[in-house]
Amino acid sequence: MATNIPEKASLLERLKEGHFNVPDFIYIPAGDFTKEDFEDLEAFFENYHESFKVVVRSAHSQEEFFKGGTFDSVETYADTGGVKYAWKKVINSVMNSNRLSIVRQQKFNHAPEIKPEDMGVIVMPFIDGMNIMAKMVGNHWEFGYSGNKSHKVRSDPYITTTPHDIKLLRMSQEIQDYLGFRCEIEYVASREGAIHVVQAKDISSIEMLEMKEEERTIHLDGIRRIRKRRNYRERPVYVMDNKVFYLKVISACEELVHGWGDSQPDIEDILEIVSSYEAEIEDFALRYQRFGVLGLCIQVPEDLYQIANHYLDETPELQSRLSSALNNNQYKIDFFLSEADTLIIEEKIRVNLCSHDAYGIDTVRNPLWSVYWRGERHDQLEKEFRKLGFKTGDTVGIDIDSEDRPTIYRV
pLDDT at 313: 93
| Span 344-353, average pLDDT | 79
pLDDT at 353: 62
User: What pLDDT, in 10s, does the model give residues 250-293?
Assistant: 999 999 988 766 677 899 999 999 999 999 999 999 999 999 99
199-208, 224-233, 393-402: least confidently modelled range: 224-233
Interstrand relation of 222-224 and 369-373 (parallel, antiparallel or unpaired): antiparallel
Q: Where are the beta strands (DSSP E) in 228-385?
A: 232-241, 292-297, 342-346, 369-373
For residues 315 and 335, give the distance between their C-alpha atoms in angstroms, rounded to a whole number: 31
Q: Is the pLDDT at 185 greater than 60, yes or no?
A: yes
Pair 5, 26: CB distance under 8 Å: no
Higher pLDDT, 388 or 245: 245
Mean pLDDT across the chain = 88
| Span 303-332, average pLDDT | 95
pLDDT at 68: 87
10-24, 55-69, 152-166, 287-301: least confidently modelled range: 152-166
Angle between helix 242-258 and helix 267-287 axes, rounded to 10 deg: 160
For residues 172 and 179, give the distance between their C-alpha atoms in angstroms, rounded to a whole number: 11
140 contact partners, CB below 8 Å, separation of at least 6? 161
Q: Is the pLDDT at 189 greater than 80, yes or no?
A: yes
Pair 104, 110: CB distance under 8 Å: no
Alpha-carbon separation of residue 396 from 216, 291, 344, 362, 391 (angstroms): 10, 10, 11, 21, 10
Q: Is the pLDDT at 1 greater than 50, yes or no?
A: no
Helix (H, G, I), strand (E, B) or coil at 204: coil
pLDDT at 2: 43
For residues 39 and 194, give the distance between their C-alpha atoms in angstroms, rounded to a whole number: 31
User: What pLDDT, in 10s, does the model give residues 92-121?
Assistant: 999 999 999 999 999 998 999 999 999 999
Three-state secondary structure of 209-236: CCCCCCCCCEECCEEECCCCCCCEEEEE
| Span 302-318, average pLDDT | 94
For the ranges 61-75, 142-156, 216-230, the one whose mean pLDDT is highest? 61-75
Q: Is the pLDDT at 175 greater than 90, yes or no?
A: yes
Q: Over pLDDT 90: what percentage of the chain?
A: 69
DSSP-derived letter for residue 392 is: T
Position 402, amino acid: S
pLDDT at 347: 85
pLDDT at 98: 93
Q: Over pLDDT 70: what percentage of the chain?
A: 89
Position 277, amino acid: Y
* Domains of the chain with bracketed CATH: 1-8+24-126 (no CATH), 127-206 (3.30.470.20), 218-410 (no CATH)
In terms of phi and psi (left: phi > 0; alpha: psi -120 to 50; beta: otherwise), the region of 233 is: beta
For residues 398 and 340, give the distance between their C-alpha atoms in angstroms, rounded to a whole number: 15
| Span 371-375, average pLDDT | 90
Pair 410, 394: CB distance under 8 Å: yes
User: Binning pLDDT at 50, 70 and 90, where does residue 147 land?
Assistant: low
pLDDT at 410: 86
The structure's pTM equals: 0.68
Of residues 132, 172, 134, 120, the one with CA closest to residue 9: 120
